[in-house]
Amino acid sequence: MKILCSVLLFVLCASATTIERDTLPNGLIVLTVEAHKLPMVVMRASIHAGSVFDPQGKEGLANVVSQMLLRGTTHRTTDEIVETVESVGGTLSSFADEDYAGLTGRVLSKDLYLLIDLVSDCVQHPRFDSVELTRLRREIVSGIKALADDPFAVSEREFRQLIFHDHPLGHFPEGFDSSVAQINVTDVQKFYDSFYAPNNGFLVFVGDFCRDSLIDILSETLSSWERRVVHAPDIPDPTARSTTVGKIIPMEISQAYILLGHLGPKYGADDWQETRVMNYVLGGAASTSRIFEHVREKKGLAYIAYSYFRRYKTGGYFMAEVQTKNEMANEVVQIVLDEMRRTQDTIGVEELQRAKKFYTGYFPLTHDSYGEMADVVFHIEIQHLGLDYLSRYEQLIESIRLGDLKGAAQKYLHPDRFYLLIVGDVKPDDIDIEEIEWLE
């Protein structure tokens, strides 16, 4: 009956791309974007239970907990969970990032209530079976070990540790092979009990459904999931070291991976759009950024040269990366530092215009499918961007002035104090930087 009901509702509902936000009686927030171009729905269930809450020595726990949600409930075995969603051609998987963890799913719209029922079971009644946990740990550890020889993966992980050292952003959500191996059922249960509450998360639905009936069904299905007090650990802002710090990971490869950066703004910074546009000029634009053009001028130095700011709820960082021949490492480091300084000094009007044209053009491409729209809505919620963000975006970009970019460059670029990580066949003496402290 529910199926037919949803089919009929799909016919009767009007189409409009607006984001709605409702709160269920148990505190669970529901964000919806109704659209009817295709008979499918994408869902994302997110709990504020990301890897920054991993206890020390148990790095990777948040990720393990989210994956264990699909490894058996008190009502269903792992196989039954998989069979239920796949029997209707749907998909359901877990995710864990630094801030949030949870489940994402995709079904034809006629099967939406099946998905809701399944997700409701998985988030409320996980079984945390020790045999399943042992199997999962083994899978994760072998995945981590498989990356040990990949210079790109090594450079990214090492850089994060270097820049955040003992701050919880210093590890990736997967954790370390040694720490994942330490995670037991008690850890999983404790973490789950601490964070998995309806008032500590939100759902996103994008696609072919009718919001009113969806909210009714959710209220009914999830009513047994009770609100409770959640004590999120207080995560302090990361602190920078007082000197420039370098580290070299020796690896016999022809191309060195050079990562240079420092701490940056976290979510919520007022001048984020300005900062992003400034970075477009510096190293964000694929083939026209200053770093890319400067590196390319010196023919053959590198194919890959870019920079970005990455942000989370509890911290963020700036990073420039160049992959180049080992013997060019010093030259590339000097180029990146030169361009950071030059960006603090001058940015041209035409560069600003070019960046604006890029961002106003690129933005719609980031949410032209239900799947991508669900991701954008997720970010709108966690960054408090406002439900009118999609319509406000162009104005946000167009209102940026040249002075704003300069301000952002001076505030958020630090060419005088940074972290440098090199993976490759390079020695500290090859790099010409005054007052750098090399770590072993």
| Binding residues for other proteins (CB under 8 A) | 3, 7, 17, 35, 37-40, 79, 82-83, 86-91, 106-110, 285-288, 354, 357-365, 367-373
- Least Å from the CB of residue 191 to other proteins: 24
Q: What is the DSSP letter of 127?
A: -
Q: Which is nearer to other proteins, 88 or 439 (CB)?
A: 88
Residue with tokens 């069979």: 83
Measure the CA–CA gap between 138 and 128, rounded to whole angstroms.
15
Adjacent-strand bridge partners of 47: 101, 201
Measure the CA–CA gap between 277 and 378, rounded to whole angstroms.
22
Q: Which is nearer to other proteins, 7 or 304 (CB)?
A: 7
Measure the CA–CA gap between 334 and 10, rounded to whole angstroms.
59
Q: Which is nearer to other proteins, 21 or 357 (CB)?
A: 357
Q: Which is nearer to other proteins, 92 or 218 (CB)?
A: 92
Q: Which is nearer to other proteins, 40 or 263 (CB)?
A: 40
DSSP three-state, residue 322: strand
- Least Å from the CB of residue 2 to other proteins: 13
Strands 436-439 and 302-311, by their bridges, are unpaired
Q: Which is nearer to other proteins, 136 or 431 (CB)?
A: 136
CB 35 within 8 A of CB 204: no
Measure the CA–CA gap between 317 and 141, rounded to whole angstroms.
27
Nearest 10 degrees: Cα torsion 25, 31, 36, 38 = -110
Q: What is the largest CA-CA distance in the chain?
A: 74
- Least Å from the CB of residue 146 to other proteins: 9
- Least Å from the CB of residue 79 to other proteins: 7
- Give residue 207's region: left, alpha or beta (phi > 0; psi -120 to 50): left
